[in-house]
Amino acid sequence: MKNLIISIFFTGILNIVTAQEGNVVPSQISQKYAITYSQLKEYEGLFEYVNNSTLTIAASPKDTILYAIINESKYKLSPIERDLFMDMTKNKIRFFRNKKNQIASYSTGKDTFKVLRKNIKFPMGMWYPRLSNIKDYKYSYQQPKNSDDGLKTGNLDNTGLDKSLLTEMTQQIVDGKYPNVHSILIIKDGKLVFEEYFYEHGKDKLHELRSATKSFVSALTGIAIDKGFIKSKNEKVLSFFPEYEFANNSEDKKKITIENLLTNQSGLDCDVSNPNSVGNETTMNNSDDWVKFTLDLPMIDRPGGKGMYCSGNPITLGRIIEKVTNQKVPEFAKENLFNPLGIKKFVWNFKPNKSSVETFCQVYLTSRDMAKFGLLYLNKGNWNGKQILSKEWVEQSLKKYSVVQGVDYGYLWWNKYLEVDGTRYYTFGAQGNGGQKIYLLQEQNMVIVITGGNYNSQSPSDELIKKYILSAFNKK
């Protein structure tokens, strides 16, 4: 199973609580074997997958590339020779044929999975940013429509944003220059003034948040503290788990606090950027209890020391919230965060064990609801006159406590700047693999949300923000 988990079919899914998305390195694999679209279609179908689940293989008519699709996330497979492909992490995927010369199964590592169904029809909208019967489609800005979701809308007049730049950005996405961008939303001065969706995405469709889920765990931790379920951020983590006998126990491990988990300074040997880390995500994901796996890890630094991006930290926080509130994470989130924000539709399957190997306990929200969450923090925890998060918690969350992979880090929020022609724009970000972004810009009184599908490759999200959104303010 270990060899299988390393493959691209899994790495994209497993990294939902991963390092900052800008550090994902694009694959350098070059195609060594020419193959036509009709030949690629031979591999299409529904296949077996781990944990009694399934995945889909599909050929794109747009770019003549074969993709593995898991939970709507697409992962590129590059051809090496007939029936042999390589994923983005250079693991080989081999297909096998039956006596009728039809694809019957695939293998990766020591595992083989059978085809369950062929002749699957894939909608064209999954391959193209916009489907239109109009030749030479030209984008024209439209003010976002009002809804009953609590978001106020407005137009671009007097916002400082440049309509021509936003028009050019949208047209470039439609034309294919920036592939796999699913949505872009901008809230300026409290109003949603820009909202565009691509491919099959729309305002009512849920989207995976990947690592951006962590900032929601941070919010729930703050709520649990504000309501007295957790006495303070200085509470010792091990004290919440009397049922465990911890491996590698030490005086330093006993000192790990709630705050250390929030700032990724637990000191545990768990760092997604270090392939030699004992707390490797692949190993954790195959364990029966991700929290015990994390807390059993050896210490390689003191609590509060070096910032190391560890997926087990927010997972452990989520489990602590469940224990002190006697509620599941989704239930606590619904009652104390989502309902007050008017978020009626979400999916959050928080089960920190190997049953979540494909979804990694991430939350799924609409882009509008992601924007609401950003606006909540921009307004210091206040939503339409109601204080959902304490002002003090929001301010604490966005301060710098550590440096993770060269970037300032708060309570599961990134503190980074984007530079445009020598001008630095400071942001607080919830972000995840694939191009998921919730950026707060306090000086501009603005929230930017982007969702995407550039998994395990460099997302164009920051480039779009710098070139077409922030550059407008350089002109002022």
pLDDT at 27: 40
Q: Which 8-state DSSP code applies to residue 334?
A: I
pLDDT of residue 135: 67
Is residue 27 classed exposed, middle or buried when 0-12, 13-18 and 19+ CB atoms within 10 A define those classes? middle
93-102, 241-250, 279-288, 330-339 — which is least confidently predicted?
279-288
Residue 273 pLDDT more than 80? yes
**What is the predicted pLDDT for the residue at 134?**
61
* Contact criterion met (CB below 8 Å) for 375 and 394: no
Residue type, 474: N
Contact present, 287 and 293 (Cβ < 8 Å): yes
Strand ranges inside 369-410, DSSP E:
382-383, 386-387, 402-404, 407-409
Q: Which residues pair with 192 in a beta bridge?
A: 153, 187
Compute how many other C-beta atoms are within 10 angstroms of the C-beta atom of residue 407: 19
What is the Rg, in whole angstroms, of the alpha carbon atoms belonging to the chain?
Answer: 23
Q: Which tokens hold the place of 364? A: 């799924």
Q: How confident is the model at residue 11 (pLDDT cuts 50, 70, 90)?
A: very low
Please name the residue that has the structure tokens 């707060």. Answer: 440
Number of other residues whose CB lies within 10 A of the CB of residue 417: 12
Contact indicator for 214, 430 with CB cutoff of 8 Å: yes
3-state secondary structure of 134: coil
User: In whole angstroms, what is the distance from residue 435 CA to residue 182 CA?
Assistant: 9
Distance of CA 166 to the CA centre of its chain: 24
Coil, helix or strand at residue 396: helix
Q: Residue 285 — very low, low, confident or very high, per pLDDT cuts 50/70/90? A: confident
Per-residue pLDDT band for 132 (boundaries 50, 70, 90) equals: confident
Domains, the chain, ordered by start: 2-126 (2.40.128), 163-205+379-474 (3.40.710.10), 208-365 (3.40.710.10)
Q: State the average pLDDT over residues 271-295.
A: 92
Read off the pLDDT of each residue in 329-336 and give the average, rounded to a whole number.
Answer: 98
Average pLDDT over residues 342-361: 92
What's the pTM? 0.93
Q: What is the pLDDT of residues 374-427, one digit of tens each?
A: 999 999 999 999 999 999 999 999 999 999 999 999 999 999 999 999 999 999
**Residue 413 φ/ψ region, left for φ over 0, alpha for ψ in the -120 to 50 degree band, beta for the rest:** beta
Average pLDDT over residues 334-345: 98
Amino acid found at 471: S
Q: Which two three-digit tokens encode residue 435?
A: 């191009």
CA neighbor of 214 nearest in space, from 287, 283, 297, 316: 316
Kind and range of the H or E run holding 333: helix 329-333
Whether the pLDDT of residue 19 is over 70: the answer is no
- Provide the pLDDT for residue 211: 92
| 69 three-class SS | strand
Q: How far apart are CA 428 and CA 20, in angstroms?
A: 12
Cβ-defined contacts of 378-381 (< 8 Å, 24+): 378/187, 378/440, 378/442, 378/445, 378/446, 378/447, 379/190
pLDDT, residue 133, reads 63
CA-based nearest residue to 318, from 16, 24, 19: 16
Which pLDDT score, from 0 to 100, does residue 30 have? Answer: 45
Contact residues for 228 (Cβ-Cβ < 8 A; gap 6+): none
Taking a C-beta distance cutoff of 8 angstroms, is the pair 439, 425 a contact? no
**What is the CA 90 to chain-centroid distance, rounded?**
23
- pLDDT, tens digit, for every residue of 291-301? 999 999 999 99
More confident site: 474 or 475: 474
Examine the pLDDT at 16 and tell me if it is beyond 80. Answer: no
User: CB-based contacts of 467: which residues, under 8 Å, 6+ apart?
Assistant: 165, 169, 420
pLDDT of residue 438: 98
